Structure 1
């Protein structure tokens, strides 16, 4: 009995490290599988839901006899929307199309409630799609909310209009997003000398904001430039 009692703790002690190492390895493999499959699965799921949403919106407008969705062809709604928007863009490029756009533009701008919404949405889409403001793509660092504390911001343009006339120095419009939701934030007006522009693009900056600093883009300045030797 005494020998069995003396050997059993030794056997257990020898088996514990193997057991712990195996469980830790399986746990690491499990989380690695989630890390690999989750982004792909969520991306395809959202894309499929968007395609189904477009099909459900367009299918009631098309007779069943000529609707490819009833033939087992998904994505017809998305294709129809893309083709429709392209045709509308082609029609508005002509003289008649420009005249009609000007007519409903004047009509909407004179509406009491819709004028402000229409003007703001139109200006945002013109800036994003037509790429009229290059400064909109700049990512910068500013000292906020106090000196010595830095935060990431996006330059949206040069301060002009009535606000621009209030300052003697060159000012810029800066949007400070919140983390992890970059759609909300604060609009600040800062001197250009107090804004440090970064080399990263807007997509990399948004990824860093959404990930709360976990995804850090590489330093292109050090990667592109060779190291200087003291000799």
Structure 2
């Protein structure tokens, strides 16, 4: 009975959590229906709400905004909007901070979180997965002796919190696994191991950051 119970849990728990997350996301996006005039909302026209209608409306708003912002007139409107927000105290600092982070993370030409790394943290001999986020800039370079890279070390099982470190380039090892695979490995607390791409002999050898670390693209900023 215990074995059957655990087998059932392994089937239903992922499904239940997936359904709960989807319902939460769709329910939140359905709140966008309030943006429509009351006269054309589904409850007014049909007498009941349509689940998922708000999610479709949200996607349409996002896509339409992207289409409008892609042309010259749309770009001018975006600049005007950002200039307006920049003149509002408190709002300007919050908006600019969020915009810089989102531009870095979601830009197709950016380098943030494009590489998975292996670093020694929190002490020598203890290894963990990190993600390359760029290079230290501005005044920091004057105080750092050598070539350094900026990395983000996520916590597990919640990778949205973690630690930001600036490490010598020779102390990080670039992994061949994708960022998605590395994230799955972190979130699963090491349970979902990435597929091996090396022979057993090479996998059994002890890594050395200074000796085997492949060069990271120096153009990454």
- Report the TM-score range of the alignment, normalised by the length of the smaller protein: 0.7 to 0.9
Distance (whole Å) between structure 1 residues aligned to residue 198 and residue 47 of structure 2: 54
Once the two structures are overlaid, the 10-residue window that deviates more, 124-133 or 173-182, is: 124-133
Q: Which has the higher contact order (CA 8 A, sep 6+)?
A: 2
Aligned to 1:130: 107
String of CA shifts for 1:157-204, please: whole Å, max 9, x gaps.
122222123334221101112222222221111111110111122222
Once the two structures are overlaid, the 10-residue window that deviates more, 185-194 or 66-75, is: 66-75
Q: Secondary structure at the match of 1:148?
A: coil
Q: Secondary structure at the match of 1:136?
A: coil
Aligned to 1:146: 123
Q: 1:177 aligns with which of 136, 145, 154?
A: 154
Confirm or deny that 1:40 pairs with 2:15: yes
Aligned to 1:159: 136
Q: 1:109 aligns with which of 64, 86, 90?
A: 86
**TM-superposed deviation, 1:136:** 2.0
1:148 to 1:66, Cα distance in 2 relative to 1, 3 A = closer
Q: 2:173 aligns with which of 188, 196, 211?
A: 196
Q: 2:53 aligns with which of 76, 97, 120?
A: 76
Once the two structures are overlaid, the 10-residue window that deviates more, 43-52 or 149-158, is: 43-52
String of CA shifts for 1:48-81, please: whole Å, max 9, x gaps.
2322332244146343555277466421101111
Contact 2:32/2:58 (8 A) holds in 1: no
Q: Which runs of 4+ in 1 moved over 6 A?
A: none
Distance (whole Å) between structure 1 residues aligned to residue 87 and residue 49 of structure 2: 46
1:69 to 1:79, Cα distance in 2 relative to 1, 3 A = farther
Contact 1:141/1:152 (8 A) holds in 2: yes
Q: TM-score, normalised by structure 2?
A: 0.78
- Size of the aligned set, in residue pairs, is 199
1:69 to 1:141, Cα distance in 2 relative to 1, 3 A = farther
Q: TM-score, normalised by structure 1?
A: 0.75
Q: Which has the higher helix share?
A: 1
Distance (whole Å) between structure 2 residues aligned to residue 149 and residue 49 of structure 1: 38
| Stretches of structure 2 lacking an aligned partner (at least 5 in a row) | 201-221
Q: 1:207 aligns with which of 157, 160, 184?
A: 184
